Amino acid sequence: MRWLRGAAWTVFALDLVILAQLVYAVLLKNGGPTAQSIAQGLAMMLGAGLLGVGILLAVSSRLRSLVGLWLGLVLAAIPLCWVIGEIIASELG
């Protein structure tokens, strides 16, 4: 149970790093107006999703719910896998 809680919160923290990088890119205003709009939309969408995952993890940790922690881990891993896939695709292409 402790390793699952640690893994879920670690993946969630990595997602927060991704969100911080998106917000930083929006604040720097790199790229044109289209890139800026895309970055703002992604930051808002990721932020809203991470808020839900954070609440799920907090409640699941408090209640010691294995199902909730597994669900939080899977939901938190989705943006991380998306970013890793984009990194691999940019290296290969």
pLDDT for 8: 94
pLDDT for 24: 84
pLDDT for 62: 95
Residues listed for the chain = 93
Low-confidence ranges of the chain (pLDDT < 50): none
CA distance 26 to 39: 6
pLDDT for 76: 93
Whether residue 73 contacts residue 60, with contact meaning beta carbons closer than 8 Å, is answered with: no
CA distance 91 to 43: 23
pLDDT for 77: 94
pLDDT for 87: 85
pLDDT for 61: 94
| H or E element at residue 5 | helix 2-28
